[in-house]
Amino acid sequence: DTAVSQTPKYLVTQMGNDKSIKCEQNLGHDTMYWYKQDSKKFLKIMFSYNNKELIINETVPNRFSPKSPDKAHLNLHINSLELGDSAVYFCASSRLRGLYEQYFGPGTRLTVT
Amino acid sequence: SQQGEEDPQALSIQEGENATMNCSYKTSINNLQWYRQNSGRGLVHLILIRSNEREKHSGRLRVTLDTSKKSSSLLITASRAADTASYFCATDASVGGAQKLVFGQGTRLTINP
């Protein structure tokens, strides 16, 4: 029944490793997003996909690569993890791109040691 | 730079009292949204108010929007312990033809029993 789900919920890894976070929504939405929330709770958009097409890429290092196999899934792969990547990553979806409310997943807390 | 900024950053009140949080933003908007985030959880959409609306209600929530002052307020009446959370305002912004939400850093609300 979960509308937007993410796995894993927690991720602890060492610098230099590569990791992926998966997101799925069962709301039938066309648009999905990745956000990063830092330790000060500042939430910033990273990417947005509409019907599997990348529409927003917010000057994110190219170590981050989103992939949308279909409009219900948006995964985030991170290469060569750095200490500064430690944060909570949220996936979200909305009915149409733009001016509608967004539904957020529970978040993935990434800790890089 | 951030579009929305909440004020105060933290607010602590007694159960039953009203809580008011303010949000200021910098550029013109199509709509403004308020979200709640409980500790360790994803954001939950509360209210969306369009730029041509001045006030909107939802249960114990009342949102006002003053586009001339570029500000909005969220009032929670008769607060309950369960209202303890962080509250974020979000405004829309254009990115190369796509729309994104820009979040403030939130107001941390604590309701004391």
Mutate: best of A21, A25, A32, A43, partner B, most B CBs <10 A: A43
Contact at CB, A98 and B86, closer than 8 angstroms: no
pLDDT tier, B1 (very low <50, low <70, confident <90, very high otherwise): very low
Residues of chain A above pLDDT 70, percent: 96
A34 near B CB under 8 A: no
pLDDT tier, A37 (very low <50, low <70, confident <90, very high otherwise): very high
Nearest beta carbon to residue B99 from set A40, A99, A107: A99
Task: Tell which B residues from 84 to 103 touch A, by Cβ distance under 8 Å.
Answer: 86, 88, 92, 95-96, 98-103
Q: Which residue of chain B has the CA closest to A39?
A: B105
Contacts of B35 in chain A (CB under 8 A): 104
Residues B63 and B52: their CA atoms lie apart, in Å, by 13
Residues A78 and A60: their CA atoms lie apart, in Å, by 11
Q: Which residue of chain A has the CA closest to B102?
A: A44
B105 near A CB under 8 A: yes
Structural tokens at position A78: 């991170």
A49 near B CB under 8 A: no
Structural tokens at position A61: 């290092």
- Write out pLDDT tens, residues A57-110: 887 899 999 999 999 999 999 999 999 999 999 999 998 765 689 999 999 999
**Alpha-carbon separation of residue B94 from A47, B29, B106 (angstroms):** 14, 9, 22
Within a 10 A sphere around the Cβ of B96, how many other Cβ atoms? 7
Q: Give me the residues paired with residue B19 across strands.
A: B76
Please tell me the predicted confidence (pLDDT) of residue B93. 82
pLDDT tier, A27 (very low <50, low <70, confident <90, very high otherwise): very high
Q: Which residue of chain B has the CA closest to A98?
A: B99
B33 near A CB under 8 A: yes
The beta strands (E) that lie in A29-72 are given as 31-37, 43-50, 53-57, 64-70
For range A29-54, the mean pLDDT:
92
- Write out pLDDT tens, residues B45-94: 999 999 999 999 999 999 999 999 999 999 999 999 999 999 999 998 87
Judged against a pLDDT cut of 90, whether residue B3 lies above it is answered with no
Please tell me the predicted confidence (pLDDT) of residue A97. 62
Judged against a pLDDT cut of 90, whether residue B99 lies above it is answered with no
Return the amino acid letter for A32.
M
Residues A64 and A57 sit within 8 Å (Cβ to Cβ): no
B3 near A CB under 8 A: no
Residues A56 and A39: their CA atoms lie apart, in Å, by 23
Q: Give me the residues paired with residue A72 across strands.
A: none
Residues A45 and A90 sit within 8 Å (Cβ to Cβ): no
Output B7 or B83, whichever has higher pLDDT.
B83
For range A39-62, the mean pLDDT:
89
For range B12-28, the mean pLDDT:
95
Nearest beta carbon to residue A99 from set B86, B92, B108: B92
Please tell me the predicted confidence (pLDDT) of residue A60. 86
Range in A59-68, A76-85, B3-12, B24-33 the model is least confident about = B3-12
Residues of chain A above pLDDT 90, percent: 79
